[in-house]
């Protein structure tokens, strides 16, 4: 009974959210098209995308470090002053390394990604084999794919550092773009969408 109520409440909330944004379907469609175009370009130029990603992360680390330092000096009397100060310095040092050496930073990120994929793949495989919950085969297959992808990236490292990050960013943008496009087209087909847009 409670599950029926929860499902009905979820449907009501989703319907309300769709009605709230259905008049903006054209903007969502434009966003999706831009993401698909940029994602396709990113996949076609993975080295440039990888370097741009490393530089962006570096700039964000620098901004975060400066914010941490400012926050630390604003709260000098707090017992966590030195920890905030240390974090700010660490962020700035990492940001400078990313900005000054984006290729080496991309290689490090790629190696970290390979290790993450391999570890998550092993845990998924082990968890699915140990517990054999419903549909465990899909989790097992996902673990095998993660492990294989991580090993492939690791075996090609450091050369994989020139293209992996850019390729993954491009694929993510491509899928996000198509998601927005599908949502926009669905919103357009809702009753009253055209009226809401004209209003």
Q: What is the mean pLDDT of the chain?
A: 79
Rounded Cα distance between 158 and 46, Å, is 15
How many Cβ atoms are within 10 Å of 90's Cβ, its own excluded? 14
Measuring CA to CA, how many Å separate 16 from each of 11, 81, 141?
9, 45, 37
Radius of gyration of the CA atoms of the chain, in A: 23
Residue 11 Cα to chain centre, angstroms: 27
Please give the helix or strand (H or E) that residue 195 lies within, else none. helix 193-198
Return the closest-CA partner of residue 161 out of 110, 102, 98: 110
What's the rounded mean pLDDT across residues 130-134?
76
Count of the separate structural domains present in the chain: 1
Q: What is the DSSP letter of 132?
A: -
- What's the whole-model pTM score? 0.64
Above pLDDT 70, what percent of the chain?
81
Task: Tell me the residue range of the domain where 55 lies.
Answer: 2-198
- For residue 3, pLDDT over 50 is answered with no
Half-sphere exposure of 91 (CA within 13 A, CB side): 19
What is the Cα–Cα distance from 31 to 184, expressed in whole angstroms?
Answer: 10
Nearest to 149 by CA among 136, 133, 160: 160
User: What contacts 24+ positions apart, CB below 8 Å, involve 8-13?
Assistant: none
Confidence of residue 199 (pLDDT cuts 50, 70, 90): very low
- What confidence tier does 106 reach under pLDDT thresholds 50, 70, 90? confident
Say yes or no to pLDDT of 198 above 50. no
């Amino acid at each position: 009974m409670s599950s029926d109520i929860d499902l009905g409440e979820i449907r009501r909330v989703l319907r309300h959210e769709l009605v709230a944004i259905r008049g903006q379907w054209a903007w969502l469609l434009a966003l999706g098209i831009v993401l698909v175009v940029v994602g396709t370009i990113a996949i076609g130029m993975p080295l440039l995308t990888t370097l741009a990603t490393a530089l962006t992360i570096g700039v964000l680390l620098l901004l975060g470090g400066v914010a941490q330092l400012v926050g630390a000096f604003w709260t000098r009397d707090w017992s966590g002053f030195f920890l905030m100060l240390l974090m700010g310095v660490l962020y700035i040092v990492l940001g400078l390394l990313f900005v000054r050496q984006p290729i080496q930073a991309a290689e490090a990120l790629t190696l970290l990604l390979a290790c993450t994929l391999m570890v998550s793949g092993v845990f998924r495989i082990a968890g699915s084999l140990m517990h054999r919950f419903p549909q465990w085969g899909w989790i097992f297959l996902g673990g095998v794919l993660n492990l294989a992808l991580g090993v492939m990236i690791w075996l090609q490292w450091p050369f994989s550092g020139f293209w992996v990050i850019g390729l993954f960013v491009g694929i993510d943008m491509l899928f996000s773009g198509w998601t927005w496009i599908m949502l926009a087209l669905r919103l357009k087909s809702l009753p009253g969408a055209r009226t809401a847009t004209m209003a």
